[in-house]
Structure 1
Amino acid sequence: MSDALATLTQTAVGDDGGGPYAIAVGPDNALWCTLVHAGQIARLAPDGRLDRFPLDSASCGPSVITAGPDGALWFTRSQDDRIGRINVDGRATSFPVPQAGSGPFGIVAAPDGALWFTQLHGDRIGRITVDGRVTEFPLPVSGAFPSGITVGPDNALWFTLNQADAVGRMRMDGDVTIHPLPTRQAAPVGITCGVDGALWFVEIGAGQIGRIGTDGHTDEFPLPDRGSRPHAIAADPVRGGCWFTEWGSGRVGFITPAGEISEYDLPDPGSEPHGLAVGPDGAVHVALETGAILHLEPHPG
């Protein structure tokens, strides 16, 4: 582990904070961020302009956001059981999930042209087409709290099961394989497909970064601060590793494919870093729930 240096700048999202939660790069090269406490979506343009777009419900709880195959941004609304869609001009619509109280959370665009999402309280993985048709696939475990989701190098859906201490794999036909993790109470959350062809995930309960191959083999890498509560993770195609947030300690970390960890202290250890994304400028952009979007530019070396 090493302490690393970076240039850090912040853009406030407004006087109310809004609760920046997840962030994604849009087809317009802007950063799109969910404001979970305000019921809004924010857009941070490359020139620094910030716009906020209110949704039809201030309490809908916009959570995870991703670029869709149709040139729009898609996001989960965990509090009112809907999947949202917003055009790059700020016009938003939404579609209901069949089961009330299911809590849609993670979402990702898949090779089949649809978006797939997790349901925290429903023990299901959902699929929504760009015209709003939803199909649901039940999981073979109950109370598992499916959370993050990504597409693997095998074109299957890989997702974390936070309360089951496991990582799941689902084929496009709904066939599921569950891979239990070595560590009890690991509580995995975020997951991403790394440049090394493996799936990388964070264990918020155990303070570790995990790596699982498509064959199910798992490695775990303990963080220096096991109580740092790692939350989200994103692959960096240029630097070759993955970035992750440490929500409980106010840090951002980087892990190489070999498991070497570097950490960057944020100015405010209580800033609650959640989602993050690598931008087209190569910088790392982090949603700070206390009310800002962080721009992190690592120093060479």
Structure 2
Amino acid sequence: MTVSAADPLGGFAEYPDPLHAPCEGIYHAPSDQIYVEEIVNPGSNGNIGSLGVLDPVTGEIARYPLPVPGTTAGGAAFGPDGKLWFTYFGASSGVAFLDPDTRLFNAFPTPSPNSTPTDIWPGPDNAMYFTESIAQNLGRIDLTTHQITEVPIPGGGLNVPTTIIMPGAGAKMMFSAALANRIVEYDTATGEFTHHDVPTPGAVPQGLTLGADGAIWFSETLGAKIGRIDPISGDITEYPIATPEVPVPSMGPLVLGSDGNLWSANGGFTGGSTIGRFDTTTHHIDYFPLPRPGSGPCDIDSVAAATGKLVIGQTTGGAIAVAEIEELNAIK
């Protein structure tokens, strides 16, 4: 049994999940439970990872080993069908879902066996879109037929290693090509790709989100900046985010909060331990320390943030942290 902190520390309540490297927490509003992507949880079928279901009232986590041997989960998101969809990779590659009602899995291998899909998100056309880092494809699974199609991403080879995918404006999906140092948009209606090269060399753009102003905002993990792509001109403006308090932010995922600010998980696998709040009008950033040092916040749930709740997976810290945006804003 795991239990949460009796009282929030610095605005954050924590739910320990030791030895399982929780990377992502996905808030499920209908049940008020949090689904947890656990990178490490060897099971009897030879798998590597699991999905957990955290009850915030009791702090208990029910674990469900992944159904495909030798695999762990990549990104995860609830689809319009109500299922928790996730990518998996390792001994094989594919996408799968966990049914919240039955707690049963269904897995669908990708046509490219070693595609290594990394992230997944619902598109505008009754489908889930996912990025394939090794195969260099953009994948799509139809939620009615469960048929998978793959579209090669222009650039080829290791020029476009894809990471985080999110919905863009209109019929577009957008994803970060971290090592190629660019943000890419894909029009699901026309099949057209648009590349946005980041001005700072080697910035490693990762987290990205559609801002309240209609612009694409993204984090630069090594560039120590937040970037903005103008929705009309495509021009990129960059804003430094290093402060004396946090000289090396190592900013990862970026989400739009219910307050109109951008919130970020900073540290990831580098052992950082802060959450950032960036004002898109003043371009000022504040950092909030997580309760445990070196917690390595890996991801932050964008759907929960839109409703006023921050749900953060702390990979090296072995815990899920939860905070109310309103309460953090009252602190500073």
TM-score exceeds 0.5: yes
2:140 is matched with 85
Task: Work out the CA distance in 2 between the residues paired with 1:84 and 1:239.
Answer: 28
2:61 partner amino acid: L
Task: Work out the CA distance in 1 between the residues paired with 2:89 and 2:273.
Answer: 24
1:174 to 207, 216, 234: 234
1:138 to 184, 189, 197: 197
Alpha-carbon offset, residue 83 of structure 1: 1.0
Distance 1:167 1:226, change over 3 A: farther
Does the 8 A contact of 2:128 with 2:141 survive in 1? Answer: yes
More displaced stretch, 223-232 vs 233-242: 233-242
2:263 to 200, 203, 207: 200
Does the 8 A contact of 1:207 with 1:229 survive in 2? Answer: yes
1:65 partner amino acid: I
1:116 is matched with 174
2:88 is matched with 35
State the SS of the aligned residue for 1:36. Answer: strand
Alpha-carbon offset, residue 30 of structure 1: 0.6
Does the 8 A contact of 2:14 with 2:320 survive in 1? Answer: no
Mapped pair 1:55 → 2:121: no
Distance 1:29 1:15, change over 3 A: closer
Query: Which segments of 5 or more consecutive residues in structure 2 lack a partner in the other structure?
Result: 1-8, 16-57
Task: Work out the CA distance in 1 between the residues paired with 2:140 and 2:240.
Answer: 33
1:124 partner amino acid: R
1:161 is matched with 220
Alpha-carbon offset, residue 148 of structure 1: 1.5
Mapped pair 1:148 → 2:193: no
1:196 partner amino acid: D
Mapped pair 1:226 → 2:279: no
Alpha-carbon offset, residue 141 of structure 1: 1.1
Distance 1:111 1:259, change over 3 A: same
Distance 1:3 1:23, change over 3 A: closer
Does the 8 A contact of 2:186 with 2:192 survive in 1? Answer: yes
Percent identity, aligned pairs only, is 28
Does the 8 A contact of 1:191 with 1:234 survive in 2? Answer: no
Task: Work out the CA distance in 1 between the residues paired with 2:80 and 2:325.
Answer: 28
Does the 8 A contact of 1:221 with 1:259 survive in 2? Answer: no
2:276 partner amino acid: G
Task: Work out the CA distance in 2 between the residues paired with 1:238 and 1:184.
Answer: 28
1:248 to 316, 320, 325: 316
2:325 partner amino acid: P
Task: Work out the CA distance in 1 between the residues paired with 2:306 and 2:180.
Answer: 37
Mapped pair 1:6 → 2:87: no
More displaced stretch, 127-136 vs 250-259: 250-259
1:97 to 133, 153, 163: 153
Alpha-carbon offset, residue 50 of structure 1: 0.7
Task: Work out the CA distance in 1 between the residues paired with 2:178 and 2:263.
Answer: 20
Distance 1:10 1:213, change over 3 A: same
Task: Work out the CA distance in 2 between the residues paired with 1:53 and 1:96.
Answer: 19
Alpha-carbon offset, residue 186 of structure 1: 1.6
Alpha-carbon offset, residue 132 of structure 1: 2.5
2:263 partner amino acid: W
- Once the two structures are superposed, residues 186-233 of structure 1 have per-residue CA deviations (whole angstroms, 9 ceiling, x without a partner) of 211111111111111111143110111212121111112221110100
Q: TM-score, normalised by structure 1?
A: 0.81
Task: Work out the CA distance in 2 between the residues paired with 1:121 and 1:220.
Answer: 26
Bigger RCO (CA 8 Å, 6+ sep): 1
2:184 partner amino acid: G
Alpha-carbon offset, residue 119 of structure 1: 0.6
1:212 to 272, 278, 283: 278
Larger Rg: 2
- Once the two structures are superposed, residues 131-160 of structure 1 have per-residue CA deviations (whole angstroms, 9 ceiling, x without a partner) of 432111111111011111111111211111
Mapped pair 1:106 → 2:135: no
Distance 1:174 1:105, change over 3 A: same
Q: TM-score, normalised by structure 2?
A: 0.74
